[in-house]
Structure 1
Amino acid sequence: MQIKESSKMYDVIIVGSGAGGGMATKILADSGLKVAVVEAGPYFDPADPEQRTQLKWPWESPRRGASTVRPFGDFDSAYGGWEIEGEPYTHKDGTKFDWFRSHMLGGRTNHWGRISLRFSPRDFKHKDVDGLGDNWPIGYEDVKPYYDKVDKLIGLFGSKENLPNEPDGFFLPAPKPRLHELVYIKGARKLNIPVIPSRMSMVTKKINDDSGVCFYCGQCSRACSVYADFSSGTRLIFPAQKHGGQIDLFTNCVVREVTTDDEGKATGVNYINKEDRKEYALKAKVVVLAASACSSARILLNSKSAQHPNGLGNSSDNVGRYVHDSTGSSRAAFIPDLVNRKTYNEDGVGGMHVYTPWWLDNKKLDFPRGYHIEVWGGMGMPNYGFGFNPNDFNKFFGLKVGGYGNGLRDDVKKYYGSVLGFGGRGESVAQRDNYCEIDPTTVDQFGIPVLRFHYKWTDHERKQAKHMQQTFEELIHSMGGEALGSTPTKEQDYGLEAPGRIIHEVGTTRMGNDPKTSVVNKFQQLHEADNVFIVDGGPFVSQADKNPTWTILALSWRTSDYIIEQLKQQNI
């Protein structure tokens, strides 16, 4: 196959435009470097009338808002999903792993929950606490200056709480709790379970000219047309372009491999253009992978050469290993105190206004690591399948609900907003035998070998999920509610979601000081090719009971500063 090679030489090629790629784009372009950004999906701007779904009505959807076009609803702003036609992935040994991909400028940051939590000092050194897994080669003190910078650049709301496991940052004003959240707070406090304002990256007070201010429409999953919430495209890449950055965007371009020279150093990337199906080559001094933990691992494993016969950076056989996702288990309940609610606009931000951080001592429990609790409910805009299911009320509570005409309308008004739900999101322990590898017999529509997953939960995660369910039932009882459905059993893994379903997978190119047991060093630089860096979730040694995005952003900024310094010193 003939590969068309560009005559242009870049300082840096960045593969992927999500959280890590967007931050690297901004920092490197702002420093004056010539940057190429290669993104597997199309250009996306939520302010563009042709692409905007914010503030559209449910009946404007082809299926009234049902999840027929996109997994999280037809108006969700993620282009992709767990299954993408022509781009499969496979499993081995009975593995159940669901891999979510969002192919578009900004990647998953267009539709994520925007829960923006820092890892704590303990999270970087958890092996010292319970003897499991490995410590990071860096500590909180290394990342804190960059957490501070990310807070100030992007903006997040929250409150200072002085909790050791939830480090405080620089917060904008937090929105007030809504009625269902006030009910949750009351019930949790009876059980001595803490509840604090959420920490989420929606701008509630003007911070700069690159972002708008939230007007509380509750539709952040649709991507914000005034750029008041954080998405990588709108808040990092667009500002870098606006302020003079030398950035070339290559959208709808799927990277096949990182190319290398006779010394094993990277020279650029080869990619397939989705529109003409031809293969092209880009050249650069530095390659930054930010395609997501599993996609970056796939690119490295497919980048084979005489110098890297096992894949780029994979002489230790660690690329793809230690993949791990957050744990997740959920429950919902009917709360009689929320029946016959007065109807009013309580939309707020697109997500929770309060949450419960991990509050217990694992030394007194039968499982390691913790979880936080996310809360949902309220009176969002009704749509197809909006959460009021008469059959549930009839089956579980013996209520005669539903029917047709005026009776159904009356019941909807009576019971709408009376269901409250919980989601536990916890830390799993990274296992070397949980991995993704290249499937030897399967390629995608572009002829690129695909990933094959091997993943098993351990009893650590199952016992954690069991504790989540016990806590949920205690909370429901404390609120005077009645649980929907029966308690998940041991045979059901206590409601534990399949790995991948929480969309927090990390760890495939783990960070470490020893090249025999890790893929990148403490600056996310490949041990085996010093001009290749990885700035997505791949370098994570462990996940923590927090969402990973804020740490991806902080580490990407830290790595970008290091790249600038190394280029100035002509070390790479």
Structure 2
Amino acid sequence: MNDFAYDVLVVGSGAGGAMAAYELTRQGRKVLLLEAGRNYDPKTETPMFRPNSAAPLMGTSTPDKDFGFYDSTVDGGWQVPDEPYTTAEGSDFLWWRARMLGGRTNHWGRYSLRFSEHDFKGKSRDGLGADWPFNYDDIAPWYDKTEALVGVCGTNTGLDDMPPSPEGVLQPPPAPRVPELLIAAAAKKHGITAVPMHRAVLTKPLDNRAACFYATPCGYGCSIGAAFQTTTSLLPMAQATGNLRIITDAMVKTVTVDAQGKVTGISYIDKKTATEQQLNAKVVILAASACESARILLNSKSTSHPNGLANSSGQVGRNLMDSTGAGLSALVPALMDRPRYNEDGHTANHLFIPWWGHKAQANKELDFPRGYHFELGGRFGEPGAYVSGNLQGYGTTLKQQVRAHYGAYVSFALRGEMLPNEHCYMDIDPQVTDKWGIPVARFHWQWSEHELKQVEHGLKTAKAILETMGATVGELPAAKDAIRKGGEIIHEVGTTRMGSSSKDSVTNQWGQSWDCPNLFVMDGGVFASNPHKNCTLTIMTLAMRNSAWLADQLKAGKL
């Protein structure tokens, strides 16, 4: 391949990489995209209409299928063969990797919540963490474009935690289920509002994708394209321009530089042949996921960049954040023995509870600084390999209890904002390498009191709402026992954060590295904070915005 046959090399085919490829190819730029995992086509590989009863162990989770037998993940998970990672002593961290074309967009929950003015300027409010180098108004038009392109259902709620979308952008949300309406009524008695969840699932046809008809769980993949994943949308759209080439099974080893330290391209391992390959381009975009992109940068050492590429600030790998996670569920007697009907819907919750405490925090009424939301569970769904509840007896008596409990449990899944702290970061293990000889990531992790107090507040709130519904909850676990492990929510961000100064950040507001003008990062690593909202919509929005800016720079001959 000739030097600079492609304008841009993109590493990663998930939310950030695919959106970058879409925007750049749409503007006429030649793009070569590298994916570490195998090729994947949900149109032919999705197990549509297959019930748990047809699967081994009734479809339950196993070590190699974390989210059930029909989980769309083909080669990834918490542990990937031949690709270890390590954790420092005293740290407990899980790193989930997709390793397939489309990355994490093949399995994500598709919750698509805009960050708000509160989320971008948290440090200005409470002095903690870091502000983003732009305001909500700067990114709002790009949220509009992303929501319209992706296809997001929901409504404008008027709540201060949920910025509105222009008329006609959001698709109609599905109707709430009965348990969700009961939760909403109980929450209202506590001054808390439940509203439709914004979700990247089509309720109306869009481009070549059909509307969801509620037949198969989204986690199986979606052969009709209703549940957003880049393999049925952004990547085919980019390929249709004739400007995109994709190479799968390409494990990037380093970003290469010349004698002056300028980025020249990529060195990668062809996993099928175990040979090292070199590619050159005018611009390199890393969108391999926050921790994978940071690993590549830290491994890209040279005379000009002795501490790793783009790391003059020392911030590559630092500021590692994940969402907090905790859950509480209970049996609601009012829901027992209710009439049976189809309550599948679009897999996940139709209603959720956004953060309601901004004013209370501004008034110093809470003992933790950042917010959380509740994702609600409770519906008639396909039975699996387990039965919940304290059941007794056998035969007819046991069956009657199972029938009475079916659809009568509700759950609250807390997802909250984490603040960066000095104990949470990743570096390179000095001794361990993967199958291809590439040094692996090592994780350091410790929740702070901010997160523990947040979870404590959330558990108490969930208990109060459940008890208002008539449930018996019992004693709550301690926050340190209830909080999920670092990385377990799969929202890790911050390892290459953007900022206003090269002294304390890795990139500027466009994802352009301070040290290397032709090197960009377009995944969650650039997040300056980790709001409680799921990060994928903002990753895509930033990638679209920043790729449009990059295209202008290339057109002007500045790169």
Assess same fold via TM > 0.5. Answer: yes
Counterpart code for 2:295: R
One of 74, 77, 88 as aligned partner of 2:69: 74
2:478 pairs with one of 470, 489, 497? 489
Partner of 2:394: 403
1:117 paired residue among 113, 117, 120: 113
Aligned twin of 1:380:
381
Q: Distance in 1 between matches of 2:287 and 2:405?
A: 45
Does 1:44 find its partner at 2:34?
A: no
Equivalent residue number for residue 140 of structure 2: 144
**Other-structure match for 2:231:** 233
Contact 1:462-1:494 within 8 A present in 2 as well: no
Q: 1:334 aligns with which of 319, 331, 336?
A: 331
How far, CA to CA, are the matches of 2:242 and 2:422 in structure 1?
Answer: 40
Shift of 1:545: 1.8
Out of 525, 528, 535, the residue aligned to residue 548 of structure 1 is 535
> In structure 2, what is the equivalent of residue 397 of structure 1?
none
1:308 and 2:302 matched: no
Cα offsets for 1:25-45 (capped at 9, x unmatched) = 111111111111111111112
Provide the rounded CA distance (Å) in 2 between the counterparts of 1:298 and 1:65: 34
Report which stretch shifted further, 6-15 or 426-435: 6-15
Match of 1:456 in 2: 446
Letter in 2 for 1:238: P
Matching of residue 281 in structure 1 with residue 264 in structure 2: no
Partner of 1:63: 57
Contact 1:6 1:281 in 2 (8 A): no
Match of 1:520 in 2: 507
Offset, 1:8: 6.9
Aligned AA (2:198) = R
With structure 1 as the length reference, what TM-score do the two structures score?
A: 0.94
Which amino acid in the other structure matches residue 260 of structure 2?
E
Q: Does 1:204 align with 2:203?
A: yes
Partner of 1:21: 17
Give the partner amino acid of 1:188. A
Q: Deviations over 1:415-462 (max 9, x none)?
A: 111111111111011124421000000001111100011111110000
Matches within 5 A, 1:235-254: 235-242=233-240, 244-254=241-251
**1:497-534: CA deviation from partner (whole Å, max 9, x where unpaired):** 11111111100001012111110011100111111101
Distance apart, 1:13 and its partner CA: 0.7
1:74-98: CA deviations, max 9, x gaps? 1111231111122111111301111
Contact 1:125 1:135 in 2 (8 A): yes
Q: CA deviation at 1:293?
A: 0.3
| 1:71-110 alignment runs, 5 A limit | 71-79=66-74, 80-110=76-106
Q: 1:443 aligned to 2:433?
A: yes
Amino acid at match of 1:71: D
1:535 to 508, 518, 522: 522
How many angstroms apart in 2 are the aligned matches of 1:413 and 1:130? 50
**Secondary structure of the residue that 2:42 maps to in structure 1?**
coil
Q: Which of 420-429 and 66-75 deviates more?
A: 66-75
- Where does residue 425 of structure 1 map in the other structure? 415
Q: CA deviation at 1:494?
A: 5.1
Where structure 2 has 5 or more consecutive residues not aligned to the other structure, the ranges are none
2:126 maps to 1:130? yes
Tell me if structure 2 keeps the 8 A contact 1:30–1:245: no
Answer yes or no: is the 8 Å Cα contact 2:421–2:448 preserved in 1: no
SS in 1 for 2:430: strand
Which segment drifts farther, 334-343 or 503-512?
A: 334-343
TM alignment of 1:329-368, pairs within 5 A: 329-360=326-357, 361-362=360-361, 363-368=364-369
Q: TM-score, normalised by structure 2?
A: 0.96
The code of the aligned residue for 1:133 comes to G
Deviation at 1:544, TM superposition (A): 1.1
Distance 2:69 2:271 in 1: 24
In 2: Cα distance, 1:407 partner to 1:7 partner:
74
The answer on whether the counterparts of 1:329 and 1:494 sit within 8 Å (CA) in structure 2 is no
**Letter of the 2:546 counterpart:** T
**Identity fraction in percent:** 45
In 2: Cα distance, 1:172 partner to 1:249 partner: 31
Shifted more, 460-469 versus 30-39: the winner is 30-39
* Matching residue's letter, 2:42: P
Q: CA RMSD in A?
A: 1.5
